[in-house]
Amino acid sequence: MEGLKVTNKDLKAFVRNWIRQNEDRLIELIQDLVKIPSVSGEEFNIQEFVYDVFKNMKLKPEMIIPDLKILQRDVDYFKTTSFSRLGYKNRPNVVATLKGAGGGKSICLTGHVDVVSPEPLEDWTRNPWGGEIEDDLLYGRGSGDMKAGIAAMFIAVQALQQLDIQLKGDIQLETTIEEEDGGVGGNLFLRLVRPKVDAAINPEPTYHNLGVASGGVMYFRVIIKGVPAHAATAHFGVNAIEKMMLVVKALQDLNKRRQAAISFNIVEEADPRMKGHATTINIGTISSGDWPSTVPAKAILETRVGWPPGESREEVQKQVEDAVMSASKGDQWLLKNRPIVEWFGWYARPHLLNLEDEFVLLMKKNITEVVGEQPKFAGGSAGLDTRFFAHRGTPAVTFGPHVQRIHSFDECVSIRSTIKVAETISSTLIDWCEVSR
């Protein structure tokens, strides 16, 4: 081919063809990742595996343990639940860089290796750590959220290496911890210690839509104290559960008012079922009482509030606290023994990218070319690691495969859609970072 000009379009066709021809390699990598249990807090074994993958790619991987002192200085820091239980010992992030020849834009491919618990196991019809395949679906905890996406970004880079396509810009590769708990020791820490990039892709599952936003997420608990008594003389005591019911009603009323007032087109257009539900206050747990014959003297409610871009954390906090305190109106006990509100765990700011950003438009074009249809914009209902890039001025998108039942039993991912994700990522790397030779 000496003397012939090879265009980006030609190179992208070569790379996409290599990915399709190496489908078995992609499938095996997803299965290897799924077979390693990696519930948040227990990420070491899978990160050791990723480290070896990077070594086999002739990269120079590093394991980076979060430094709490650095994290605590940042506006987005909060103490995650997994850190509260386990700290950060033996919980590394793994990073590597495919160096470019120079003169091109850089990019980060990032994904989290932690998954939620597969419990209750009796609901599964397959081994949650088995990586079993039926037709186009690969099953297992984390298969969709988000080990298939991680495998896709690895294969996209391997395709460039195997075809000896060198780019001008650097490609940062990373797998992070505790995203399911908020990503503080994972993606946030890496943004504080790694070189800034010009763009980023996070292959979280998006059903081939283009994620350009994340929602704000906060956790809070409400504590109410009562007075214990024997059930036979319950009127001598104060039932904390009954008082908590007043708080639940106040939060339900606030949720209805917020849902009637708040909308977010990106969420609702990507999934019409989300209309009227762009924001949610979810009662997650209630604990109280010792046994049926004692009036419970304490009740604890734990709740998640989520909202799309448009409000600050402080504004939402005030609404919640005002609603909880409003439950005391007309109740003599609560007027004298006010509910206690504590904020804990997730404390995430929402974000929204500029929809006309150069990188957003490039991703939209490449998705359309590879998938065969123009993607919808998505995001804004859940907290995502991409927010840590966006809040620091880096356009970071989510784009991932079709999945079913993430965070539920029999989680699975479409293999064909994961191949499309790898093809799209590889095409974007060629366009964005530019080809050196």
List, as one string, the DSSP characters of 419-430.
HHHHHHHHHHHH
366 shares a domain with 250 = no
334 shares a domain with 234 = yes
| Last residue in a domain, options 311, 331, 347 | 347
Question: What is the enclosing helix (H) or strand (E) of 107?
Answer: strand 107-112
pLDDT at position 419 over 60: yes
251 shares a domain with 340 = yes
Q: Write down the pLDDT at residue 14.
A: 96
Residue 3 lies in a domain: no
For 241, counting Cβ atoms within 10 Å of its Cβ (0-12 exposed, 13-18 middle, 19+ buried), the class is middle
d(CA 40, CA 301): 23
pLDDT at position 3 over 90: no
196 shares a domain with 55 = yes
| Last residue in a domain, options 310, 326, 347 | 347
177 shares a domain with 52 = yes
d(CA 204, CA 201): 9
171 shares a domain with 296 = no
Residue 13 lies in a domain: yes
Q: Write down the pLDDT at residue 5.
A: 78
Q: Which CATH number covers residue 293?
A: 3.30.70.360
Q: What are 133-161's pLDDT values in tens digits? A: 999 999 999 999 999 999 999 999 999 99
Residue 2 lies in a domain: no
Q: Which CATH number covers residue 395?
A: 3.40.630.10
pTM: 0.94
As a residue count, the chain comes to 437
198 shares a domain with 224 = no
**Cβ-Cβ contacts under 8 Å for 84 (sequence gap 6 or more):** none
pLDDT band, very low/low/confident/very high, at 353 (cuts 50, 70, 90): very high
- Number of domain units in the chain: 2
361 shares a domain with 413 = yes
Domain span at 14: 8-214+350-433
Task: Provide, rounded to the nearest whole percent, the portion of the chain with pLDDT above 70.
Answer: 99
User: How many CB atoms lie under 10 A from the CB of residue 392?
Assistant: 13
115, HSE (Cβ side, Cα atoms, 13 Å): 28
User: Phi/psi zone of residue 140: left (φ > 0), alpha (ψ -120 to 50 degrees), beta?
Assistant: left
223 shares a domain with 210 = no
Q: What are 95-128's pLDDT values in tens digits? A: 999 999 999 999 999 999 999 999 999 999 999 9
Average pLDDT of the residues in 388-415: 98
Task: Report angle CA 54, 83, 68 to the nearest 5 degrees.
Answer: 80
| Last residue in a domain, options 347, 369, 400 | 347
Residue 97 lies in a domain: yes
User: How many CB atoms lie under 10 A from the CB of residue 334?
Assistant: 20
Average pLDDT of the residues in 40-52: 98
For 27-44, give one letter per residue: b (16+ CB within 10 A) or e: bebbbebbebbbbbbbbb
User: Phi/psi zone of residue 106: left (φ > 0), alpha (ψ -120 to 50 degrees), beta?
Assistant: beta
293 shares a domain with 229 = yes
Q: Write down the pLDDT at residue 4.
A: 61
186 shares a domain with 55 = yes
Mean pLDDT over each residue of the chain, to the nearest integer:
97
Q: What are 309-350's pLDDT values in tens digits? A: 999 999 999 999 999 999 999 899 999 999 999 999 999 999
363 shares a domain with 417 = yes
Residue 1 lies in a domain: no
Residue 41 lies in a domain: yes
pLDDT at position 1 over 50: no
Average pLDDT of the residues in 244-271: 96
